[in-house]
Structure 1
Amino acid sequence: MGQIYLIRHGQASFGSDNYDALSALGRQQGKVLGEWFAGQGQRFDRVVVGGMQRHRQTAAACMEGLGQSAPPEAAWQLEPGFDEYDHHEVLIRHRPEFDEPGAVQRFLATHENPKQAYQAIHEAAVGRWIGGDHDAQYGEPWPQFRSRCAGALQRLLESAGPSQNIAVFTSGGTIGCLCQGLLGLDDRHTAQLSWTFVNSAVTKIFYRPGKLALGYLNNYAHLEWWGQPGSVSYR
């Protein structure tokens, strides 16, 4: 039986001009994960990364922490099918005024708890996206996103050996979609699940021909092992 480790990227640069780049904490989260894997004697036969900067940066930090057991970067497989959905498009279809440069930052600056305020708007924007009434307004409607994620996993399974350990560096929305069928969730609960994923957390899936099973979900034991205040983040 093989194992696929779906690894959410480390903390990105929320509120900056380039969200896709990891923060200093995000890089450390990835490195601690690699160190934790090394301490568990974990080895990976393959490393797969989505097409986003934060995916590759998390993979690099994790492999640095893993050390001698890490597959070299030249052997990594790029799979854009594991990319996150376009957060910006989903947001501005709900709140068009946020398309203006700096509008989100100005909005957040007016709130005592900016992350909480942003989350409320984000949830409403995602609800509109997955609702199905406005699919023509999105470059990638929700059903297409789900299909893309499923296709990436299927291609991975078709190329996987019977008992490989595979690390996949991706995003929370993608992981939620890949777990939807395993957990029997509807679309709205799938979206809600993705908001609970911790940066650098690991979700493990067991695979064998024709069968998938969830091993564990949103595991961030490495951050608890690290024990640093503020190490657990969600965006």
Structure 2
Amino acid sequence: MAELLVVRHAQASFGTDNYDRLSDLGHQQSEMAGAALREMGWVPDRLVTGSLTRQKETVASMGYDAIPEEHPGFNEYDFDDLLRVKFGGTIPDLVRGDRKTHFRTLRDTLREWQAGGLEGASETWINFKTRLQDAQTFAVEADKQRVLVVSSGGAIGQLVANCLNAPPEQMIALNLQVKNTAMTKFIFSSRAFFLHEFNTTPHFATPDAAKLLTYS
């Protein structure tokens, strides 16, 4: 069966005025992920990203020269937009800058969004689920055996949850587990789509490399 390998983007610039770009560590993580795939002999015959800069920078720093195809369905949900709706237009500094507060608020906000709340957000939960299904269909529709997608944590969490017919709450748990440059593999055919591996990081296997592992 063919393989769809979905990699989360490397560390982005959390806490700065532009999250949507890789940090220096993010570029290093991407290089390590690309090297690990080459060492395993896993050569993609199709590259796909969403439209986000951090996704495109990740695939470039992984060492692939080809320009990837783009499908915005693989983009992350717009958490800043959800927060602005939740807090009446202004995101509290503590939510923006403190990691523990940020991720606690993320859980609560996603639960509210999934339940149909946060009216006025730029994207509904139903629309998010639908575009992920469309993106999955796009990625597997070509006659390719090894498809590499660079996406984001929430999108990957939803792809896995949908594949397993898991409840919406499980998407949140999966989302928060996905490490930067972690690899999630699906196998597929014209009739089937199965989860094969989730959130693997062979490039962080040694004690020294493990120090470079991040989640945001």
TM-score (normalizing by structure 1): 0.86
- Gaps spanning 5+ residues in structure 1: where? 65-69
Distance 1:86 1:30, change over 3 A: same
Runs of 4+ in 1 over 6 A off after TM superposition: none
Matches within 5 A, 1:82-231: 82-96=74-88, 98-99=90-91, 103-104=92-93, 114-134=98-118, 136-161=119-144, 164-225=145-206, 227-228=208-209, 230-231=211-212
**SS at the partner of 1:12?**
coil
The separation in 2 between residues aligned to 1:173 and 1:39, in whole angstroms, is: 28
Distance 1:4 1:226, change over 3 A: farther
Distance 1:211 1:108, change over 3 A: closer
Is 2:73–2:134's contact at 8 Å kept on the other side of the alignment? yes
Q: Which has the higher helix share?
A: 1
Indicate the structure (1 or 2) with the bigger Cα radius of gyration.
Answer: 1
**SS at the partner of 2:212?**
coil
Q: How big is each residue's C-alpha offset from its partner over 1:150-183, in whole Å with a ceiling of 9 and x where there is no partner?
A: 001112222233xx10100000111111111222
The separation in 2 between residues aligned to 1:179 and 1:154, in whole angstroms, is: 14
The separation in 1 between residues aligned to 2:58 and 2:194, in whole angstroms, is: 25
**SS at the partner of 1:205?**
strand
Q: CA deviation at 1:226?
A: 7.4
Q: CA deviation at 1:125?
A: 1.3
TM-score (normalizing by structure 2): 0.93
Question: Partner amino acid for 2:199?
Answer: N
The separation in 2 between residues aligned to 1:19 and 1:108, in whole angstroms, is: 11
Q: How big is each residue's C-alpha offset from its partner over 1:101-157, in whole Å with a ceiling of 9 and x where there is no partner?
A: xx53x6666xxxx211211112111111111144x4222100100100100111222
The separation in 2 between residues aligned to 1:18 and 1:226, in whole angstroms, is: 31
Q: How big is each residue's C-alpha offset from its partner over 1:30-72, in whole Å with a ceiling of 9 and x where there is no partner?
A: 100011111111111011111000000000111x2xxxxx4x3
Is 1:32–1:226's contact at 8 Å kept on the other side of the alignment? no
Matched with 1:4 is 4
Moved more, 123-132 or 220-229: 220-229
Question: Partner amino acid for 1:145?
Answer: F
Q: CA deviation at 1:82?
A: 0.7
Provide the alpha-carbon RMSD of the alignment.
1.7
Q: CA deviation at 1:20?
A: 0.5
Question: Partner amino acid for 2:88?
Answer: P
The separation in 2 between residues aligned to 1:131 and 1:11, in whole angstroms, is: 29
